[in-house]
Structure 1
Amino acid sequence: MLRRLYAFFFVSIFFVNKVFAQNIIVGVHYSPPWSYVNNNGEIVGIEKEIIEGAFEKRGYNVEFKIYGYSRLIKEITDKKVDFASPIAVNIPNILPVDHYLPFHDVAMTLKSRDLKVDNVSDLKGKAVVAYQKASYVLGDEYRNVVESNTELYKEIHGRENQIQMLFRGRTDIVVGEERILVYLSEKLYGPGKVSIHPIFQKTNYGGAAWSESLVNDFNRGLEVLKNSGEYQEMLDKHRSIEQ
């Protein structure tokens, strides 16, 4: 009888927690393999798994939405999502969480062209395409170079579009996160076709929310993921296909 009471108690607690778990909406940036939509229409990827895992450790039910970067920033600024990731631009009064995305922005060129790109100044006079808001994210030197390159510089939505521009000869250089660019270039055109130029510093990013309690809960959940080894497993499981 006592065992049945204990079993009933724990089952009841489980269902109560499920019923009263807080539902939140998380916006992520379309950037495979970090966050993207698979062939079944599901949002998947490293970033998505980390965020979901951290919040689930704290009892949240998470609904994901995926956007281009400018739209993502607008959604969180207008408070239409509860949490957005990654946040690499300044949004007044928003609360950042601990970092969990090891990003490395690079310049990518076609190996067949053998272009010399050893530093940011080597971008001068070349056609460059980058992700939205790159001129705000990548620092003053980069901003000054691309502003002097106005007719040759574009920031556009869609990583596949950027890579297609490179392979079709419509741009000289694509600037973006290394894992994303290599993953997509190999997926679309096969391995061994591009050169990577590490002209920017590696940077760690995180997400942000307006709610202090949500930020604190995420940070606690992320700490659990890291201490258990699950966080590193998530990073390792979805390596770009060149690895």
Structure 2
Amino acid sequence: MAKATVLMFGLTTFLLCLPAHAEYNQADSPRPTAGKPLQMRTLENPPLAYTDENGEIVGVLVEGIREAVRRTGHEVEFRIYPWKRVLKEVADGNADAAFNAGLTEERQAWGMYNESVLIDETYVFFASEPMALSRDLEEASELRVGTQLGYYYGKRFDRMLQDPPFRALEVAQTIPHSLILLRADRTNVFIGDLLPTLYYLKELGLEDEIHIVREKDSGMPLVVSTSPTYVTFSKRRVDPGYVPVFDKALRSVRADSTFDVILDQYQLNVPELPPERPVKSEP
């Protein structure tokens, strides 16, 4: 499906995807944790990973990773914690891997990253009425902007936040709170992670009231920034030989559209995104 294909997994990373339904010699697969289920950790972030009404951990990335691990001949168990605890558990060797993790030098000291991008977090503006803005945000002085506490929006936008050119800036802790501020006209745009924001719009019944801001020239969603995330495995617990095996399985899950099928189940009305990132990275 085109809309999911544009969003998921950074297409250039998968130019050498495996054929669909690739087979694995599971007997030759390194045991990641002495034959025990792989212990994966992440944060609560629906629809990517979250706890449902039955207390089960579910989500687009949860189900995709579960299938990738299954194709390596192993099982996986998930736990959801605050993000700082997630990283500490993997760094200290109390868990096997964290997922939806950005790539940093600090984390590479204790973690082994698979090569494939797990998902590109995509940040776009949302507004309470249809709106189009210039790619360079020439209208910044007119905007009352909602952001989330502790979020990283890329070098360009974070640099703007150090000396905000906006009319006003409102910081909230959650996406639902940010949407409440938007509806109450405390802000007129909110910069949100696309999939989680679409999830909450659906949950709160706001799909017809909140709109993705478009870019004036192209008419496509105005992507403020994208940030690739990965699975990172603990150097203290996981056989290094397992990481490329997992990566191969993850590529095959992508190649046979398993992730697209999972994403479609959430019926999030994901828009087609620009084929290239519209905002250039800072050096």
- Shorter-chain TM-score: which interval? 0.7 to 0.9
Partner of 2:250: 222
CA apart distance, 1:204 = 4.2
CA apart distance, 1:25 = 1.4
Does the 8 Å contact 1:33/1:240 carry over to 2?
no
- Is 1:187 the equivalent of 2:203? yes
* Alignment partners' CA distance in 1, 2:260 and 2:132: 35
Q: Secondary structure at the match of 1:52?
A: helix
Q: Secondary structure at the match of 2:252?
A: helix
- Structure 2: which 5+ runs fail to align? 1-26, 214-221, 272-283
CA apart distance, 1:241 = 5.2
**Measured at CA, do residues 167 and 92 of structure 1 come closer, stay the same or move farther in structure 2, by a change above 3 Å?**
same
* Alignment partners' CA distance in 1, 2:181 and 2:209: 14
CA apart distance, 1:192 = 1.6
Identity of aligned residues (%): 17
- Larger relative CO (CA 8 A, sep 6+): 1 or 2? 2
Please report the TM-score for the alignment, with normalisation by the length of structure 2: 0.65
* Alignment partners' CA distance in 1, 2:205 and 2:267: 18
**Measured at CA, do residues 242 and 54 of structure 1 come closer, stay the same or move farther in structure 2, by a change above 3 Å?**
closer
Please report the TM-score for the alignment, with normalisation by the length of structure 1: 0.74
Task: Tell me the C-alpha RMSD between the 2 structures.
Answer: 3.2
Does the 8 Å contact 2:39/2:76 carry over to 1?
yes
* Alignment partners' CA distance in 1, 2:171 and 2:108: 26
Q: Secondary structure at the match of 1:72?
A: helix
Does the 8 Å contact 1:72/1:84 carry over to 2?
yes
Does the 8 Å contact 2:148/2:178 carry over to 1?
yes
Structure with max Cα Rg: 1
**Could you tell me which of 212, 215, 229 is aligned with 1:205?**
229
Q: How is 1:1-243 mapped onto 2 (pairs within 5 angstroms)?
A: 21-90=35-104, 91-93=107-109, 94-97=111-114, 98-111=116-129, 114=131, 116=133, 118-120=135-137, 122-123=139-140, 126-130=144-148, 132-135=150-153, 138-139=154-155, 141-149=156-164, 152=169, 154=171, 156=173, 158-197=174-213, 198-211=222-235, 212-240=240-268
Q: Secondary structure at the match of 1:186?
A: helix
